[in-house]
Structure 1
């Protein structure tokens, strides 16, 4: 290292000049020469040299050892002693000042240069190390997490202020104690003691994180919910030398989480209340229209019949009244069926082996006349050699009747209704898929609500189609009881309800 400033402290002028000459030859600068301890201190403060070459025996009350001690204390400048004295007493006094070198006069030129170079390099590294340590100390003291470090024996070697506040232990009293004593943790629910994560880290050499519900029991017994992780401290050869534990107080976090949970619960409750309120309104609308209307019609017709003597007219109104009563009973039965399905279990299922090639035409037969009246066409695609389907025939018939009834109601005159059936044996368990399509499209915005109770398409009245909005919810519940799945899609002028059924082999 060249151009370093060196302060020479020597009370022999000739020796001092010789040293100055040699140092300049090595490439160093010697801005000042001091001949006493007091002068050496003043010159060091004034010029702040990189190194001091100090003679021990100096003129005046202060010798070189005392001056070196003061210089190092004030300025952190390394000192090399140059002296003719090597007695035990002098050496003992010199060692206390932690000199970077001790050369006995006379010394060789190369020896002097080597000591100077080593001293400058060593002191530079020490300064860097001290700077890094100060930076690390400042960082650890300023972060909001608690930090505890230990050695290989699990003894505490460091605590930052946050760790002191959380544990109730001061660093000076905690250092040298077992980490488990200072960092006392337990399960928040059972209060059973939990082994210190430092032990786990030192044993396995891996980063370790505590369970979620962990509390720190402070020195005064206060319990604090914490979150933490521990990691090994390793040297440059990847050898574990200790462990560091980083932890934080999560009291506010837990309070915030609980508050958020309550907020979500309240929001869900409000949503449920709004849904219930909507169902109530829908039900009242249903009662006011679907229940009230037939009763009003029946009452009017009764009044007409009371004054009528025409047999044909009487017969007509009796038939209309009978139809209105059927309509009323159908709606009441739907309400009761839906209530039963929402509260029933799978134990109501009575599975049977259905031969679909024979069973489906029987279910579809009542719709043939209705389809002809509406000038519609019905196409049935049944593959040959279908295996029997193990299912509940009553529930499945109700599902198909509701879906076919909707298809007939909403398919315009001249439209088509198609029933496709296929068996998928590659699935586990095998599946039977029934798809009912009709040439009428449902708007995409209405599809998400198609299975809601009391929901009817906005244009149902335009098509002059009545209904309670209970048919498809009943279908969905029946499909769930059959452990199946139902899907609906509508595009390009067609709507398709796809029913996916599994064999009920477990019943």
Structure 2
């Protein structure tokens, strides 16, 4: 939008001159440059520019944010902040003034020009939108609803046929009467009178919504539920010359809303029951297989052991029994852990200093043989600088072991599993980020359900891959306990779980 007048507010003369030159090259006009907050206000009031480029740190007692607040009191001008400061305090103060841009120095010319063009266009569109909204408001009042108009003394001077029907008053009878005589409005349940909306809008100058369950009591004594809109009527000098009330019978609407509400409630109940029923079926199927099958295997092995000599075969049967017992115990432990996490109000933590460069290699060591057996690779990426976190060792270890177990189960032969540690020093307190990524892809429809109890990816071979379907649900609970967050993303043949958490206090108890 060339030929726009732009006021530059910058206390560094060299920077201000550079800005003026850039803006001139862009085709804009710079009518003035201000170096202080007060000067910026004065120039803005004097020149009414199309846009203000405002430096936040200015010389004097008033900074750019304060100057912008003063300018907005008198002028509708878009402001773009230019600053070398990106701290949260400065940003939050700037946001209060509704800026149209926030550029960090140094910036590129194209970036500056783009922000200016967007700001000018956005401001023009918002201005047009406000005007259109005023027109739309007026047009909407012409629909076939009840309409009553009055002068500033609340004396009725117009009624349409719908208003006659709803109130029971003919226009010829209502003309010249106070609108409060015509509009008998009350609460539907208590029948306590409610102040006349026309009187209210004339007194306060603003439109006030009627309370819920409002009725209009007609001349015949019957009550009709209504909704309304009241507005002032002004002449071309903006003087108030009266008020208009538009109201409508909402009997059918209320009936439809109540019916729809009941339908939604019933649908939600049915969906919840179906979900619970499916969850119950999945749980029973899982328990049946995971508890009965190991017991059957144990009985068969015991019978064979009773007639078998002490030999390698005996040891093999013993190993099978032990494996089945371990699998049984895993399910039971997961159920107990999840129950504890869901039912406990306060969970004690034991914060400990963990040097990730030392701790993580020890944690993943048991998985090396497993990934080699399945022809997978396991890689650990650590930052150059040592990272020490204060966290609950047991909980964090359980989280990472569950994620690694999950990655090992679903990574195909030849695939890779990558653990990456990084940190975000731009926020306070510092955030530690641990990601576990593997070469498998999960559909977008499955991602939102990954942390649901007993949920398994469709078409997965759950008996071959093992597990209880509770691991990720436990992970989510434990992450919350550590005051962190976890998310899962999948695409381009990879799935990544990202853990983000901060240091715990020396002693901590988390309330669920």
TM bin, normalised by shorter chain, reads 0.5 to 0.7
Q: CA deviation at 1:445?
A: 5.2
Alignment of 1:282-293 (within 5 A): 282-293=282-293
Q: Which residue of 2 aligns with 1:333?
A: 333
For 1:178 and 1:291, how far apart are their aligned partners in 2?
81
Q: CA deviation at 1:183?
A: 1.3
Q: Which residue of 1 aligns with 2:275?
A: 275
Given that 2:147 and 2:246 are in contact with CA atoms closer than 8 Å, whether structure 1 keeps it comes out as: yes
> Is 2:380 aligned against 1:380?
yes
Q: Which residue of 1 aligns with 2:501?
A: 501
For 1:235 and 1:461, how far apart are their aligned partners in 2?
77
SS at match of 1:464: helix
For 1:443 and 1:235, how far apart are their aligned partners in 2?
62
Q: Which residue of 1 aligns with 2:401?
A: 401
> Is 2:467 aligned against 1:467?
yes
Alignment of 1:95-114 (within 5 A): none
Query: Relative to structure 1, is the Cα distance of residues 441 and 148 closer, same or farther in structure 2, using a 3 angstrom cutoff?
Result: closer
Q: Which residue of 2 aligns with 1:257?
A: 257
Given that 2:298 and 2:321 are in contact with CA atoms closer than 8 Å, whether structure 1 keeps it comes out as: yes
For 2:475 and 2:482, how far apart are their aligned partners in 1?
11
Given that 1:456 and 1:467 are in contact with CA atoms closer than 8 Å, whether structure 2 keeps it comes out as: no
Query: Relative to structure 1, is the Cα distance of residues 309 and 267 closer, same or farther in structure 2, using a 3 angstrom cutoff?
Result: same
Query: Relative to structure 1, is the Cα distance of residues 440 and 173 closer, same or farther in structure 2, using a 3 angstrom cutoff?
Result: closer
> Is 2:315 aligned against 1:315?
yes
TM-score by structure 1 length?
A: 0.64
Q: Deviations over 1:259-288 (max 9, x none)?
A: 111111111111111111111121122123
Alignment of 1:90-489 (within 5 A): 144-186=144-186, 193-203=193-203, 209-211=209-211, 213-219=213-219, 222-235=222-235, 238-345=238-345, 347-386=347-386, 388-444=388-444, 446-458=446-458, 460-461=460-461, 464-489=464-489
Query: Relative to structure 1, is the Cα distance of residues 147 and 484 closer, same or farther in structure 2, using a 3 angstrom cutoff?
Result: same
For 2:240 and 2:180, how far apart are their aligned partners in 1?
19
Query: Relative to structure 1, is the Cα distance of residues 461 and 150 closer, same or farther in structure 2, using a 3 angstrom cutoff?
Result: closer
Query: Relative to structure 1, is the Cα distance of residues 147 and 460 closer, same or farther in structure 2, using a 3 angstrom cutoff?
Result: closer
Q: Deviations over 1:196-218 (max 9, x none)?
A: 22224334656665455533344
For 2:359 and 2:299, how far apart are their aligned partners in 1?
42
For 1:311 and 1:388, how far apart are their aligned partners in 2?
50
For 1:391 and 1:239, how far apart are their aligned partners in 2?
67
Q: Which residue of 1 aligns with 2:103?
A: none
Query: Relative to structure 1, is the Cα distance of residues 215 and 430 closer, same or farther in structure 2, using a 3 angstrom cutoff?
Result: farther
Q: Which has the larger radius of gyration?
A: 1
Given that 2:357 and 2:387 are in contact with CA atoms closer than 8 Å, whether structure 1 keeps it comes out as: no
TM-align CA RMSD:
3.0
Given that 2:347 and 2:481 are in contact with CA atoms closer than 8 Å, whether structure 1 keeps it comes out as: no
For 1:143 and 1:368, how far apart are their aligned partners in 2?
74
Q: Deviations over 1:385-430 (max 9, x none)?
A: 4554343332221110101112222334443221101110213543
SS at match of 2:383: coil
For 1:274 and 1:261, how far apart are their aligned partners in 2?
20
Alignment of 1:51-62 (within 5 A): none
Number of aligned positions between the proteins: 366
> What stretches of structure 1 of length at least 5 have no aligned partner?
1-141
For 1:494 and 1:143, how far apart are their aligned partners in 2?
57
Given that 1:410 and 1:463 are in contact with CA atoms closer than 8 Å, whether structure 2 keeps it comes out as: no
Given that 1:205 and 1:240 are in contact with CA atoms closer than 8 Å, whether structure 2 keeps it comes out as: no
TM-score by structure 2 length?
A: 0.64
Given that 2:215 and 2:224 are in contact with CA atoms closer than 8 Å, whether structure 1 keeps it comes out as: yes
Q: CA deviation at 1:234?
A: 4.1
Q: Deviations over 1:429-477 (max 9, x none)?
A: 4321111122333455544443332233345439932222221222222
Given that 1:460 and 1:466 are in contact with CA atoms closer than 8 Å, whether structure 2 keeps it comes out as: no
